[in-house]
Amino acid sequence: MAAPLRLSFKFVNPDFSFRWLDCLSSFESLHLAPALVRATADLGWVKPTPIQLDAIPPARDGRDVLACAQTGSGKTGGFLLPVLHRLLASPKKATRALILTPTRELAAQVHADFVELAKHTTLRGAAIFGGVGMGPQESAFRHKVDVIIATPGRLLDHMGQSGKYVDFSALEILVLDEADRMLDMGFLPAIKQVLRQIPSQRQTLFFSATLPAPIVELSKQMLKDPARLNVERVAKPAAGVEQAVWPVKESLKPDLFLALLKANVIGNVICFTRTKHRTNRLAEILTKAGVPNARIHGNRSQAQRTEALANFKDGKIRVLVATDIVARGIDVEALEHVLNFDVPHMPEDYIHRVGRTARAEATGEAFTLVSPEEEADLKQIEKAIHKKLPRRTLDGFNYTHVPVERFEVPLADRIAAIRARKKEERERAKAKLERKAQQQGRAASGGGSSGGSANKSTSNASSGSAEGASSGAGKRRRRRGGSGRGPGGGSSGGSGRGPGGGASGGNRGGNRGGGPYRD
């Protein structure tokens, strides 16, 4: 029996060997629809990220997926590409995929990615979230777009409308993106309510950056024999993020931040704060210092939030100050820095914040300003990511000086300021009403004088007409009808030049003269 044939390959050109190995992990190798592969090339996606390599094949083949994927890992492409591939395989006039996200910004970002990936196809999608009118969103439901990308709250608003225009009877795929964040935001009851109103026979893709116990329990209820990806992975920032800590007194944080900006230690940056008030105050300080900035938090309108993000992405502003509302789902190309102005209380929030930089295997820097009071929270973060973060100081910065103004205004002072502002607004409104009443009084007084003059004129005219009627009575008997120049003048057919002139044929004259009667 002949010995088995053994083949070996030797690449004379090392570059060719790397190209050959790369083709094994290209988007073509994932057997996606050609239109989707073309779209990835248009976007400049050279090769799939690890989560895309792991998630696309089972999702493309119809399996449920449970994936623990860190922020910035390319997971949006990891679920959008297989979803679009499956929809293209059997086109239908129906909404067949639903993607749930925790925030408006993430819904808008996923929709933007959908548009880019589906541009060489006929697939249509819509983003459904609050803060904007429901009319265009209702239209998308009625036109049965292929993919709905929604926040749970606004989706339930539409599902509860009397028109019953939301139709998920043909739904084939459900995606939960950032499931742990939805849990943090209290959306679990809303998600369960949505689940009760969509088909139970479906494919479910479940993506989460962390897997706390409630999320694991929810996944068990939703998934059937899922492909489990990275579920044992320890949550940590992306590999390309360089992290560092800047110790500083709480009162000196604004001054140190400005000094880091002035020294160009920090370039374009998303700066995360703990509260809406601190976001507003830091934005005020940056504006006073001449630093172009914008702010985003829950009290800002959707139009304001959208404009702030657009200006930041376009490079019109240097600093975007935000609460954790944008800690997930905002994809800013080539973002240089993320700054934690306040240390987050939860390690998961830290991971998502710093995940705004070094996205899709790029690189970036994440800095954290740490006051002595925040050291305990920092230790919890270091324990969670299994890494001691390096400490840095800025040369030339005076760490002992007293700031010119207090950064955070005490709550009692803020309440007093709000009350003073409300009182001032009420006084202005009262003064405005008084001025309006005075103007109306003067107008009424002037109108009364005019009316008196008019009445007097009418009376005189009537008297004159009566005298004319009496003196010319003989003539009227010979001529049939008088002039009727005054109101009511003439009893037969006069010319009717005054209002209502003539009681008989004079009606015609009265109408031509502007009288109130019409035939």
Task: Report d(CA 434, CA 442) in Å as an integer.
Answer: 12
Residues 272, 151: one domain? no
Q: Are strands 227-229 and 65-68 parallel, antiparallel or unpaired?
A: parallel
| Start-to-end CA span in the chain (Å) | 121
- DSSP 8-state secondary structure symbol assigned to residue 439: H
Last residue of a domain, one of 381, 416, 451: 416
Number of domains in the chain: 2
Residues 193, 91: one domain? yes
316's tokens? 């019109």
| pLDDT over 90, % of the chain | 46
Of 20-29, 118-127, 142-151, where does mean pLDDT reach its minimum? 20-29
Task: Report d(CA 337, CA 6) in Å as an integer.
Answer: 53
On whether the CB atoms of residues 84 and 125 are closer than 8 A, the answer is no
Confidence grade of residue 482 (pLDDT, cut at 50, 70, 90): very low
On whether the CB atoms of residues 67 and 78 are closer than 8 A, the answer is yes
Last residue of a domain, one of 198, 229, 260: 229
Confidence grade of residue 318 (pLDDT, cut at 50, 70, 90): very high
pLDDT at 372: 95
Task: Say if residue 427 is exposed, middle or buried (CB neighbours under 10 Å; 0-12, 13-18, 19+).
Answer: exposed
pLDDT at 214: 83
Sequence-separated (6 or more) residues with CB below 8 Å from residue 392: 244, 245, 246, 367
Task: Report d(CA 77, CA 52) in Å as an integer.
Answer: 7
Residues 152, 272: one domain? no
Beta bridge mates, 207: 67
* Domain-embedded: residue 235: no
Beta bridge mates, 242: 365
Confidence grade of residue 459 (pLDDT, cut at 50, 70, 90): very low
Residues 211, 299: one domain? no
Residues 218, 350: one domain? no
Beta bridge mates, 365: 242, 337
Query: Alpha carbon of 136 to those of 183, 194, 307: distances in Å?
Result: 28, 21, 20
DSSP per-residue string spanning 189-211: HHHHHHHTTS-SSSEEEEEES--
212's tokens? 């706390």
- DSSP H or E run through 293: strand 293-296
229's tokens? 């990806």
Beta bridge mates, 229: 67
Residue 194's φ and ψ, nearest 5 degrees, are: -65, -40
* Domain-embedded: residue 421: no
354-376 pLDDT, tens per residue? 866 544 455 678 999 999 999 99
Residue 147's φ and ψ, nearest 5 degrees, are: -130, 130
* Domain-embedded: residue 508: no
* pLDDT above 80 (res 165): yes
Count CB neighbours of 519 within 10 A. Answer: 5
Which comes out higher in pLDDT, residue 459 or 59?
59
* Domain-embedded: residue 260: yes
Residues 90, 208: one domain? yes
Residues 299, 412: one domain? yes
pLDDT at 158: 96
Confidence grade of residue 83 (pLDDT, cut at 50, 70, 90): very high
137's tokens? 């969103």
Beta bridge mates, 247: 370
Report the Cα 455 to chain-centroid distance in Å.
Answer: 63
Residues 256, 369: one domain? yes
* Domain-embedded: residue 86: yes
What CATH number has the domain bearing residue 321?
3.40.50.300
Residues 186, 250: one domain? no
Residues 156, 254: one domain? no
Task: Report d(CA 325, CA 184) in Å as an integer.
Answer: 12
Confidence grade of residue 188 (pLDDT, cut at 50, 70, 90): confident
* pLDDT above 70 (res 513): no
pLDDT at 346: 83
Q: Single out the residue of 307, 315, 318 nearest to residue 257, CA to CA.
A: 318
Residues 259, 191: one domain? no
Last residue of a domain, one of 416, 441, 474: 416
| CA count, 13 A, side-chain hemisphere, 382 | 16
* Domain-embedded: residue 341: yes
Q: Which residue do the tokens 């592969």 mark?
A: 37
On whether the CB atoms of residues 338 and 356 are closer than 8 A, the answer is yes
Task: Quote the domain boundaries for residue 32.
Answer: 21-229
* Domain-embedded: residue 412: yes
Residues 50, 89: one domain? yes
On whether the CB atoms of residues 329 and 353 are closer than 8 A, the answer is no
Task: Report d(CA 324, CA 97) in Å as an integer.
Answer: 28
339 three-state secondary structure? strand
Radius of gyration of the chain (CA): 37
* Domain-embedded: residue 97: yes
Mean pLDDT score, 73-94? 93
267-288 pLDDT, tens per residue? 889 999 988 889 999 999 999 9
| Per-position b or e across 110-147, b if 16+ CB within 10 A of its CB | bbebbeebbeebebebbbbbeebeeeebbebbeebbbb
